[in-house]
């Protein structure tokens, strides 16, 4: 599935099942909440904190998909083509940061 397909799929679901998009500010708050849930699992699964029993069976991929879903909603609502935005972002990284990481002594 491409980013464009994902945006179209989310839009169709919202319009047929979800009734309508939540407002942009509500979706921003939901995105923050979903990122927090993802961060909690990663921090406890891969960091120094012990993982809570209730989090041990949480699907990390599903949590990432929740973040992606809400991000796609926000892109759709604000008229952002994520394929185009990602391509521009990658170009920026390849231009601006072409040697930045290679020259970083901390990464060696």
Domain boundaries, the chain: 3-80
CB contact set of 91 (below 8 Å; sequence gap of 6+): none
Percent helix, strand, coil in the chain (nearest 5)?
Answer: 70, 0, 30
Structure confidence at residue 61 (pLDDT): 97
Name the class of domain 3-80: mainly alpha
Convert the pLDDT of each residue in 5-59 to its tens digit. 999 999 999 999 999 999 999 999 999 999 999 999 999 999 998 888 888 889 9
Position 71 confidence tier, pLDDT thresholds 50, 70, 90: very high
Task: Give yes or no for residue 75 having a pLDDT over 90.
Answer: yes
CB contact set of 33 (below 8 Å; sequence gap of 6+): none
Name the token pair of 9.
């799929």
Structure confidence at residue 1 (pLDDT): 94
CA distance 20 to 40: 29
Rg (CA), the chain: 17
Task: Give yes or no for residue 108 having a pLDDT over 90.
Answer: no
């Amino acid at each position: 599935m491409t980013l464009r397909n994902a945006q179209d799929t989310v839009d169709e679901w919202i319009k047929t099942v979800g009734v309508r998009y939540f407002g942009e500010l509500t979706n921003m708050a939901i995105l923050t909440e979903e990122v927090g849930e993802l961060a909690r699992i990663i921090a406890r699964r891969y960091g120094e904190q012990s993982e809570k029993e209730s989090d041990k069976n949480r699907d990390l991929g599903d949590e990432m998909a929740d973040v992606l879903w809400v991000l796609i909603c926000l892109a759709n609502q604000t008229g952002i083509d994520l394929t185009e935005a990602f391509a521009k972002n990658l170009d920026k990284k390849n231009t601006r940061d072409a040697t930045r990481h290679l020259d970083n002594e901390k990464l060696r």
